[in-house]
Amino acid sequence: MFAPVIAALPASNWITAAAVAASTVAVAILIRRLTKRRIKRKDHQAELIDVAGRILVAVVIAVGAFYTLRALEVEIGPLLGAFGVGALFVAVGLQPLLVNVVGSVILQARRPFRRGDQVATNGYEGTVMDITTTSTVLLSYNGESIHIPNSAVLAHPLINWTHEPVRRTIMPIQVPYGCELPRVLSILGRAARRQLNDENLPPAEALAIGFGSHGIDVELRFWHYSDELESVAARSQIACAVDEALREIGVAIPFPQMVVHPAATPQPPAVESDNG
């Protein structure tokens, strides 16, 4: 279809088309090299720069192809129409992929988390290892690699455990009815503060919050560093300190008990004998 037209073109058109194509390739290669050089610096915006660089390369190639075809006097209208129809079918088929790519750009721009943050989302917890063009990669605390689609990360609630340097944990405790409640609360708070013993952490406190079926409900509120390992260690240490403190003052943590009352077995009525 385009062969007679192309064959009749003067040499100047071919030279212009070749120059435009060569310039396009050179600019695209330069952009990729600059992008990779910036990424190697381990910039905190490395993923966003990588995605932006890929988009810019695609734009440069598209513009270069347009002007190359114009230099060859190829009619762009029919090509754009065919390309538009084909692109529509491709876009419909690749919609999930495109949604995840857009999600990657949004995550890079909004920055709800960074590499190394510990997060919980979509029922999974772990350390953020990478944000690719299609998925967010977590390393679970058991050493498992988890790939979550970026669209799912954006569509569901996300908890960033390490967004702040410290966070609070609430440990529920029950103490028996009849104990000296103010004294017990004071002892529990003091035991937690003594166990943590860090000036950078807010002080722990114990509060009575209600009356349960087996005892008085108490919340022991204490702060610890946000890292999950620090969190688990702090909870274990506080549990040991609480148990030891209550044992020293003779207070036992109540637990559900079942009391069984034996019932008398009814005796069958006596049967009178015929000989009686």
Q: What is the pLDDT of residue 93?
A: 47
* Least confident interval from 23-27, 48-52, 149-153, 229-233: 48-52
N-terminal to C-terminal alpha carbon distance within the chain: 126
Angle CA 197–199–204, to nearest 5 = 60
- Tell me the CATH number for domain 111-160: 2.30.30.60
- The answer to whether residue 108 scores a pLDDT higher than 70 is yes
Q: Does domain 166-248 have CATH number 3.30.70.100?
A: yes
C-alpha span between 94 and 27 (Å, rounded): 28
Residues with Cβ within 8 Å of 214's Cβ and at least 6 positions away in sequence, in order, are 174, 254, 255, 256, 257
φ/ψ bin of 38: left (φ > 0), alpha (ψ from -120 to 50), beta (otherwise):
alpha
Q: What is the pLDDT of residues 49-100, one digit of tens each?
A: 666 777 777 788 878 777 777 777 766 666 555 555 555 444 444 456 667 7
108 or 225, which is more confident:
225
Order of strands, sheet of 124-131, starting from the edge strand that comes earlier in the sequence: 145-149, 135-139, 124-131, 118-121, 158-160
Q: What is the pLDDT of residue 182?
A: 94
Q: What is the pLDDT of residue 96?
A: 63
Residue ranges per structural domain of the chain: 9-93, 111-160, 166-248
Angle CA 29–21–11, to nearest 5 = 155
Average pLDDT of the chain is 81
Token pair listed for 50:
């990588």
- The answer to whether residue 208 scores a pLDDT higher than 80 is yes
